[in-house]
Structure 1
Amino acid sequence: MREQTACFTGHRTIPPQQLEDLAQRLRAAVEDAIGRGYRYFGAGGALGFDTLAAQTVLELKKDHPHIRLILVLPCRSQAERWSREQQQTYEAIKAQADKVVYTSRGYHRGCMHVRNRHLVDHSSLCISYLTQPTGGTAYTVDYAIAQRLEVVNLGDTPR
């Protein structure tokens, strides 16, 4: 199954002027992956790129009903401090996901890294939005490279 699984990692903040272009490039990357036989798409459920990626997979399921969205969430309380609108979007995505996995029972320091490693460890392709040389997304992309995943970066920071 790993050879048919792609994961996503990216920043929580996407500059508004880049959103439309990023959404188009993300859709093209997911469509390319589908064309190459990828069927399972793992997203971490965070704000920003994770949300955009999950919404893209759900939209593409209309034309490709065989693909599956797997949410890999760090803990059950991930969204408790988000705005009401963000929580509603999160719950709508969860309700439409084909599978939801929690990597930790509750929040703890490092639970996001556990989630990110789980996503990479169960994938052969990582579609990223990396624009900063440090932080959780950079860590995850570096881990994906170390695990010999193919990485497609839609951002402007090379690895």
Structure 2
Amino acid sequence: MIADPRTSVAFSGHRTYCGDAADALHRTVGELYVRGFRTFLSGMAVGFDLAAAEAVLELRERMPDVRLIAAVPFQGQEARFSQSDRERFSRVLSAADVVEVLSPVYHRGCYAVRNDFLVDHARVLVAWYDGSPGGTHYTVRRAMRRGLEILDLHPAASALPAFAPTLFG
């Protein structure tokens, strides 16, 4: 069961994330808990997504009312990961309160479906976004269009660009 989006947080970030903002990530998750957020959604990708999920699980050790939802874009996503990342994925997945597998197989667009799911079920997006194109860019833009609060932990992200609607949204 997906929780109330009004008390939910989603994460989106680059796969190149290597723990650069670990302190800020843990602090942000704790601050969001204090603000009343209890459900956290991870897209389960290598990099920022898994790091964020692990930060949520650490918070849950102290605050048992915290819930982690693993939004897996397709069954077998982890087969494309390195061995160490497959092990991290497995640990996080087994500790998640809810696992939502959004497609039984990979298909073109399955990551966008996952990103839409994250944004559509949250009020806040915590990002590791450097402005480059890709899935995180897509997710941040969608979150902006939907009026989510966006907390970007990337040091190069001094300010998110203002949303300017285009013909395609």
Structure-1-length-normalised TM-score: 0.94
Of stretches 75-84 and 139-148 in structure 1, the one that deviates more from structure 2 is 75-84
Equivalent in the alignment of 2:130 = 131
1:15-34 aligned within 5 A: 16=18, 19-20=19-20, 22-34=21-33
Q: Quote the residue 1:108 is aligned against.
A: 107
1:140 aligns with 2:143: no
1: CA distance, partners of 2:82 / 2:124 = 31
- The Cα of 1:63 is off from its aligned counterpart by 1.1
% identical equivalent positions: 37
Q: Helix, strand or coil for the counterpart of 1:114?
A: helix
1:2-81 aligned at under 5 Å gives the runs 2-14=5-17, 16=18, 19-20=19-20, 22-81=21-80
Q: Which amino acid aligns with 1:3?
A: R
Distance across 2 between alignment mates of 1:112 and 1:134: 14
Q: What's the secondary structure of 2:79's corresponding residue? A: coil
Work out the CA distance in 1 between the residues paired with 2:14 and 2:80. Answer: 18
* 1-structure distance, mates of 2:27, 2:88: 23
Residue of structure 1 in register with 2:94 after alignment: 95
SS at match of 1:41: strand
CA RMSD of aligned residues (A): 1.0
Q: What is the CA deviation profile of residues 41-88 of structure 1, one whole-angstrom value per residue up to 9, with x for unaligned ones?
A: 000000000010000000111111100000001001111122222111
Q: Which runs of 5+ in 1 are unaligned?
A: none
CA distance in 2, matches of 1:55, 1:146: 28
Paired residue type of 2:117: H
In the other structure, the counterpart of 1:119 is: 118
Residue identity in the other structure for 2:11: F
CA distance in 2, matches of 1:120, 1:132: 18
Code of the aligned partner of 1:32: E
Which residue type is aligned with residue 100 of structure 1?
V
- Structure 1 Cα separation of the partners of residues 100 and 80 of structure 2: 20
* 4+ long deviations beyond 6 Å: none
Whole-angstrom distance in 1 between the partners of 2:106 and 2:59: 31
